[in-house]
Chains A and B, each alone.
Chain A
Amino acid sequence: MNVVILGCGRTGATLALQLTSRGHSVTLIERNPEALRRLGKTYPCRIVLGSGLDVDVLEKANVRTCDAFFAVTRGDNTNIMAAQIVQRNFGVQRVAVKVADPQRAEAYRKLGLFCINAAALLAGMCRDWLLGVEYEPIDSYNVLVEEMGI
């Protein structure tokens, strides 16, 4: 698959390495060249330097023809905006968005974005690990706990 990842932070770099080692073709978009050190000495993927909110940069990363797009910078709003540009302007079907704020993630899930909230995932897996329960599919962890609702 052709995959475009926005953001070479811990999540983006790990995902890029995991996907390339399984033979997928990855393009990483990153603003800060320093961040690329997370990929190790030889970059296993194509790099496009620039902002993920810049349509020209997205075009250069071949978003138009990619099979999936991940917005995983540390900025929730950057991820949310980039994901919507990619969905609406480039017609990408499989778009996943990292959103650290659980309520914002829930609000945008209701608007149709696939928002992954790391805190909810980690907490749910910690819970199941502790209780010795079998792990569940991602969607069952990726929900806002009721008490945190509006």
Chain B
Amino acid sequence: MYLILVGGGNVGLQLAKRLIARGHEVLLLEKDARMAQKLGNHLGDEYVMHGDGCEIHSQKAAGFSRADVVVAVTGEDEDNLVVCQLAKEVWKVKRVVARVNDPNHEQIFRDIGIDDTVSATGIIFSLIDQQISSDELIPVGHLHRGHVEVVESILSHRSPWVNKAVRDIALPSGTFLVYLVRDGNGMNISGDTVLTAGDMLVALVPVARAEELRAALLDKD
């Protein structure tokens, strides 16, 4: 796999280190010459290139045309957008990933066709949310370019699912209960599993069905 990372800040550096350790071919593009030099000393010169990842000729020199993945992790959303858009449209890179610093921009990136976005604020928010809500469906992550949501929920004693066997529960279409944590122990779920209050359930749900799942879980319409 050839991965190009644009932006040699802390995120770019840490990401590059891990990907290199996994044995991937990695190139980190950094537009500040002194910074690029430093990164080269740290990671090895072969992993770092000095250049503006938003410029077509730097992209050409970095080999965007044969990249499997381009990841834009600068601190500026507008730069990350342009890197990903050019990677996709000009160089036909199959997979582009953008760091989004302002969570309000996530939808804008999706509208423009950059499906894979990572927002630190969004992630931290969902972790905090996880701590403070129990009746809720908590988003844990996304699969299939954001079309399928991984959610967890702690079963409230008010839920109509309590004391029911999984096979008797009507789930929204395309939804699967995949895992259960009871008293701190993880368990597989089968049709025979009878749910009890306090169970933590992990489910896969198509994004469009998440609201339906929440309603079923809480018995609200």
Of chain B, the residue at the smallest CB distance from A107 is B90
CA distance A24 to B79 in the complex (A): 33
Query: Among the listed stretches B22-30, B36-44, B50-58, which one makes contact with chain A, having 4 or more residues with CB under 8 Å of it?
Result: B50-58
**Min C-beta distance of A1 to chain B, whole Å:** 26
Chain B, 56-67, contact with A by CB distance < 8 Å: what is the 0/1 string?
110010000000
Among residues of A, the one whose C-beta sits closest to the C-beta of B57 is A103
List the one stretch of B103-111, B135-143, B185-193, B205-213 in contact with chain A. Answer: B103-111
With an 8 Å Cβ cutoff, the count of chain B residues facing the other chain is 21
Q: Which residues of B contact A89 (CB under 8 A)?
A: 108, 111
Q: Does any Cβ of A come within 8 Å of B78's Cβ?
A: yes
A54-B104, A111-B89 given. 9 additional CB < 8 A pairs? A53-B77, A53-B105, A75-B78, A78-B78, A82-B78, A85-B108, A88-B111, A104-B86, A110-B89
Show 28 A/B contacts (Cβ-Cβ < 8 Å), sorted by A: A53-B102, A53-B105, A54-B104, A55-B104, A77-B54, A77-B76, A77-B79, A77-B81, A77-B82, A78-B78, A80-B81, A80-B82, A81-B77, A81-B82, A81-B108, A82-B78, A84-B112, A89-B108, A89-B111, A101-B55, A103-B57, A104-B56, A107-B56, A107-B90, A150-B56, A150-B57, A150-B60, A150-B90
| Partner-A contacts on B (CB < 8 A) | 54-57, 60, 76-79, 81-82, 85-86, 89-90, 102, 104-105, 108, 111-112
